[in-house]
Structure 1
Amino acid sequence: MELWTVGNKTIVWLYVIALTYFTHPAAERLLVLYFLLYLAMNLVIHIVKSARLKQGLIVSMIAYLLLCGAYAKPEFLLLLPLTFFELVSFFIRDRRVALVLVLAPMLFMTQSLLVHYGFIAAFVFFNYAMVKRYMERVNLQEDELERARLRQQRLDRQLNGNAEYAQASEYLVKLEERNRVAQEIHDGIGHAITGGLIQMEAARLTLRRDPKAAEALLSNAIAISKDGIEQIRRTLKDLKPPVEQLGLSRLRYAVEAYGSRSELLTTVVHEGNMETITPIQWKIIHENVMEALTNAAKYARASAVHVEIRVLNRFIKAVVADNGQGADKIVKGMGLIGMEERTAAVNGTVTADGAHGFVVTTLIPRTGGS
């Protein structure tokens, strides 16, 4: 806005200089000094930062123009609209009131200057109105930006609070699980081992004087130990999550994370008995799906990707389909070749279709990874 105001002042200043010298061909050389002094005062106004100092300089410049108009050339009064608008902009918000105050000096001007003064006043008024409207929009945008920044800070604090709560909840769940496992080991396995040790110690003490009783005690110790071993197996089985949960959960998390990073809308669905998928098969499916996701984000110009895992009678089928531009002819790159090689290791196949978006299908025999 400073450049806009300076440009308008320069236009009016040059217009007044031209009018003065065309009206008075034999103008005095001091007029150059007067105009340069006016220019210097304007530069000082734009340099200073204090609002009160600016107001004082503007009032001084008005007085200077009135003196020049009275004692040098009346054309100096044509520069008053610019200065008046600068002054009233500090105190008056209504543009119409400002225009009336700026036009008031026309009551005291000669007939020859009225048209020029009215033209300059109208020119300056419209520029003043445009600048005012622009500044109001800028202020509104700045206020909206500040409100958005405050909302962002509040959401960040909430997000941090939720993250801390999630971490605390996760830690609490881990503590509860540790406590449950410790209690289960103490109540089951610990008692079994303790009971077995007591039985074996009793058998050692009675072995010489009563072999039959010692044999019975050892049989009890063996039974208690077997029961303890079975409890250990059950506990480990309960602690270890099923293979299908590990594979599907890991795949779902990886797909959603990649979708968030690449701004893709992702969905993952499954059908059939996921327990039949072996770890090596899950590894191949995971790598093929992620490779297909990468291709969709880089080349397909897609906005959504659908991942589907199905366990059929004889095959395990993994499909990655996007809504991108597709391709009439599929050119195999390193990614697609790598998918084929990985899948071929378990006697599977990979097909790609670009008719409607890009669809990559991985088929693995159910016995291929056994």
Structure 2
Amino acid sequence: MNKTYKYNRYLYKAVLILIGMDVIYRCRDNNIKALICFVLFLVIVINDYLRQKYFYKTVKEYYSSIALGMIINLILSLHIEGYIDIYFYLILYELILYGEGKISRLFISLEVISLLALISFRMISGYDNIGYYDILGIIMVSTGICFYLVSLFGYKALRKEKREVERLNKELELSYEKLKEQSKKIEELTISKERNRVAEEIHDNLGHNLIALNMNLDVAEKIIDRDMDKAKELINKSYILAKRSMEDLRKAVYALKEKVTKTFIDSLKEIVANIEYTGKVKIILDVEESIEEILPEYKDIIYTSIKEIITNSVKHGKCDEINISIKLSIEEINIIVADNGVGCDEFVKGNGLLGIEKRIMDYKGKINYDNSISKGFKIELVLPNL
């Protein structure tokens, strides 16, 4: 827009220079007339400069300047013919593109009437009788002026629409930024509330478990010499309480993390790296990237289950290779962990596998085992894809 305005100003100045030269040329035979006409035209030029530089700031000064230019232009056009008529179109151009409101439309109407009256006067003033071609000429000129006006108004409407679109786009960008900021605040508030909730859970659940654990151990210490079986039962119960407390604490810490810097796949790769670091077991991980889109609860179940299964494979299976596969379909999530260990002829589920089963069943999933001798050990977990 600035570049277009700049070129328009250059063209405007060039047109004024050419009009001034034409005014002098047409009055060359009469020095006094030439001087008067040139001074009047110079007033037009100075008036235009002041209007476009200073007078545009107030409506009264602006339209007073327009009126002065229109009057001087009409006077010059009545006394000399030529390119001075172009100034009519320059005034119309300025009024249509930059003027607004009723007063602008009034001045446009006055300028059009003045131009048509001037052209009609010139065409009929030299003739006693008005002929067909005179009337046709007036009609053609009027049509041309109308076309010029319609084109300018159309261009103005397009430019106005463009400015409106740009304004709406800016408003949309501002609204989007505000929405992002509000969304961030809501997210922070949600995280803060979740932290408070988890903190309450830690206080209630973990505190209760630790008190119960302390009581059990205290009682076990007092009766261990008198009732060994009862003491063992209390110690076993204390072990379960401690393990449950560790699990609750792990979940709480996971929930309290301010920012998750690692993806779920990265967390799985970290487990793999920790095992492979010993150099005794190779783990092949095959995970689809879409796993990142599943429910957080599912991620927690899969992560815990894989860690437990790998631990069992390394500890009891005597394997040197473990294959982990996680596949997603529209209906289900399929997790398979298989090792090449010795397998087992009698399969006994420990607390770890029982815990995995319970978590899987809680989400209406299923778990399958393959413990064939000399074929290693394979566990398949299936969760519904919600």
Q: Normalized against structure 2, the TM-score is what?
A: 0.45
